[in-house]
Amino acid sequence: MALLPFDDRDGYIWLNGEFIQWRDAKLHFLSHALHYASAVFEGERVYGGHIFKLREHTDRLLKSGNILDFQIPYTPDEIDDASKKLIEMNGITDGYIRPIAWRGSEMMGVSAQNSRINIAIAAWEWPAYFSPEAKMQGLRMRISDWHRPDPRTAPTDSKAAGLYMICTLSKHKAESEGYDDALLLDWRGYIAEATGANIFFLMDDGKLHTPKPDCFLDGITRRTVNELAKAKGYEIVERHIQPEDMANAKEAFLTGTAVEVTPIRSIGDYQFEPAECCRTLIEAYEEEVRRPSRQAAAAE
């Protein structure tokens, strides 16, 4: 299947305060971010013309920039307004939004205090790819050879671009071996997360167990699903989970902006059976993300 390159599309991108033609959004190859990974980003979804948890994503983008020692030169309101206008201009009903901020090309070297801080937002159509029934088949995963780093060695509480290289390597290895994704352990050997999503396990005790996010992001979708699960009567246990604890899990699923709620059927030799818990939370999440558009339609 032919790819549709992301640098050659119709539409608009918001770049440093202006809406420009998609193909005109250029980056010089001597930009600091390209050489030293001084960039932070977000992934957001549009459902029925409404951006889910927009302000939470914007706040995290600004926080990530501060952690990387730069300040994004726009307010949360300005960034939110640009995002909303962008999906209107691009005619997006169900889609994906990618805001990113980075150090520019004014200085080339490890030190770059005087480099310009750029910000851009792109948005494109991204309809639901899987029905609930298709999702219930579950993912096959392997355990990655790479581990999430110690927070003393990397800015692990930011959504920084550089932190995702081990995710790319892990996913490439998994896909080359016929798996859908990979599970990363942390530097201590505890279960951490998938390559772009958090993870939950329904254990034999009937409770949902999820890794303590002390060296990876406490995802916005993760927090949403936490609340939805509690509302459905599930008790949440946040703890350090050993890989061998997966032997006591009946169901497992990923949560994230891209994967939403997606069941897992195996991780290495550990097998799970996507069932009532997964289906309940898939449906609850779908209801939650579509709520604003339904409310808007009802008000018209």
pTM of the shown model: 0.94
Distance CA 104, CA 221 (A): 31
Phi and psi dihedrals of 153, rounded to 5?
-115, -5
The span from the CA of 34 to the CA of 31, in Å, is: 6
The rounded distance, in Å, linking the Cα atoms of 275 and 96 is 28
Exposure class string for 84-100: b at 16+ Cβ within 10 A, else e: bebbeebebebbbbebb
* Shared domain check, 253 and 170: yes
Examine the domain organization and report whether 136 and 60 are in the same domain.
no
Domain count, the chain: 2
User: Which CATH number characterizes residue 68's domain?
Assistant: 3.30.470.10
Same domain, 150 and 283: yes
d(CA 34, CA 208): 40
- Name the 3-class secondary structure at 21: strand
Q: Can you give the residue range of the structural domain that contains 79?
A: 12-125
Do 151 and 167 fall into the same domain? yes
Instruction: Indicate left, alpha or beta for 16 from its phi (over 0: left) and psi (-120 to 50: alpha).
Output: left
Same domain, yes or no, for 83 and 27? yes
Indicate whether 181 and 50 sit together in one domain.
Answer: no
First to last CA, the chain: 41
Catalytic residues: 159
Give the pLDDT of the chain (300 residues) as one tens digit per residue. 567 899 999 999 999 999 999 999 999 999 999 999 999 999 999 999 999 999 999 999 999 999 999 999 999 999 999 999 999 999 999 999 999 999 999 999 999 999 999 999 999 999 876 677 778 999 999 999 999 999 999 999 999 999 999 999 999 999 999 999 999 999 999 999 999 999 999 999 999 999 999 999 999 999 999 999 999 999 999 999 999 999 999 999 999 999 999 999 999 999 999 999 999 999 999 999 998 877 766 666
278 within some domain: yes
Q: Is residue 254 part of a domain?
A: yes
